[in-house]
Amino acid sequence: MQGSSLMEILSPGYWQEQDLELGTLASLDEAISSTVWSSPDMLASQDSQPWTSDETVVAGGTVVLKCQVKDHEDSSLQWSNPAQQTLYFGEKRALRDNRIQLVKSTPHELSISISNVALADEGEYTCSIFTMPVRTAKSLVTVLGIPQKPVISGYKSSLREKETTTLSCQSSGSKPAAQLTWRKGDQDLHGEPTRIQEDPNGKTFTVSSSVTFQVTREDDGADIICSVNHESLKGADRSTSQRIEVLYTPTAEIRPDPPKPREGQKLLLHCEGRGNPVPQQYLWEKEGSVPPLKMTQESALIFPFLNKSDSGTYGCTATSNMGSYKAYYILNVHDPSPVPSSSSTYHAIIGGIVAFIVFLLLILLIFLGHYLIRHKGTYLTHEAKGSDDAPDADTAIINAEGGQSGGDDKKEYFI
């Protein structure tokens, strides 16, 4: 059998000459192994082996199938679907499906794309090159089923404080099966493990989960969130929330306005009630006083003009159909604030005016003193007039009186 060709091995006459049965698989494997694969030409043609890769695509998306070969041996590449229908032979379309398009066709590469991928497109795609022998490569296409938005059930009406409730969540259409998680606001809730059930199409799955918890008054208005986690979502959030209402007994707090009441002022005591439902009735009482001061739907107790006698402990009972709550406040009426008298105001004004006048006088004295200092030494006595040009004292006196040194003016002498 050494040196025989593959066609010779597969011919019936060849097996008769070799005295072997045609149906003996072991003999066929032996013949091929010893004849075909031991051929130096066949070992060299390993470069004609095409290669490809497995692909994963989300349902509705687009997948690209790429097949490459190093040595094409003057032959073309071909893509076939899982049903062995030829999609493309080289650059020629073989199957009329507009979703399948040619991406690239060269002697060394054949790439095609499939858009709007459906779950039915999943399977093994074959890339073939028609050398001798025919060589193939497989590409497994996995289609991910996108889970539907989860649906929460089990919540019917308002819950009472400390009541226990159970909520259920379900999502269909995932492939592979998705996982469900629970949250209350930003807080994780530990629900039951996700239950998995195969859908009627035999390809996708329906998942479900439930969570049981006891509600408190802090849960009133909280959102219970069920989220579905799946690789097809690529990190995107897909969740559903259910807002719950919790009924609870009221609370109350008394707030004064103004905060430090004084005698003679107007005072409002606000009874701030909280609860679900909100308190609808308020009862005001003062310890030691009978009957109650006020019963009303308004929460404020008004004192138009405070007196010292109003001091004491006041109670406000806030009531709803869930119950009642009583808050207390101790009122201490302070002395009235001191009010400035008119005489004091008058004296303050007079004092200001006097201070301003004194200030002006001081400024005037300062300027006067400054002026006198600058003109010091410029005043001359009557006797000193003409002394600068007189040769003697007598002449200076005569000149000071307006006379000349050589004149006939009258002179007066003292003995």
* Angstrom distance (rounded) from CA 65 to CA 232: 19
Instruction: Identify whether 33 is part of a domain.
Output: no
Nearest to 255 by CA among 307, 196, 314: 314
Instruction: Identify whether 20 is part of a domain.
Output: no
Do 322 and 249 touch, CB atoms closer than 8 A? yes
Domain boundary among 287, 303, 331: 331
Number of domains in the chain: 3
* Angstrom distance (rounded) from CA 20 to CA 302: 118
Q: Do 131 and 189 fall within a single domain?
A: no
Range of the domain at 275: 249-331
Q: Do 159 and 227 fall within a single domain?
A: yes
Instruction: Identify whether 24 is part of a domain.
Output: no
pLDDT tens over the chain, length 415 residues: 444 444 444 344 443 444 433 333 333 334 333 333 334 444 445 788 999 999 999 999 999 999 999 988 889 999 999 999 999 999 999 999 999 999 999 999 999 999 999 999 999 999 999 888 899 999 999 999 999 999 999 998 999 999 999 999 999 999 999 999 999 999 999 999 999 999 999 999 999 999 999 999 999 999 999 999 999 999 899 999 999 999 999 999 999 999 999 999 999 999 999 999 999 999 999 998 877 787 777 889 999 999 999 999 999 999 999 999 999 999 999 888 765 555 667 777 888 899 889 888 888 888 888 778 876 654 444 445 555 565 665 665 565 555 444 444 444 444 4
Instruction: Identify whether 82 is part of a domain.
Output: yes
Burial label, 156 (beta-carbon count in 10 A; 0-12, 13-18, 19+):
exposed
Q: Do 319 and 263 fall within a single domain?
A: yes
Instruction: Identify whether 13 is part of a domain.
Output: no
Instruction: Identify whether 339 is part of a domain.
Output: no
Domain boundary among 281, 312, 331: 331
Which residues are CB-contacts of 400 (< 8 A; sequence separation ≥ 6)? 382, 383, 384, 385, 386, 387
Q: Domain holding 180: CATH number?
A: 2.60.40.10
Nearest to 48 by CA among 67, 80, 73: 73
Q: Do 161 and 134 fall within a single domain?
A: no
Q: Do 129 and 61 fall within a single domain?
A: yes
Q: Which long-range contacts (CB under 8 A, 24 or more apart) does 40-43 make?
A: none
Instruction: Identify whether 408 is part of a domain.
Output: no
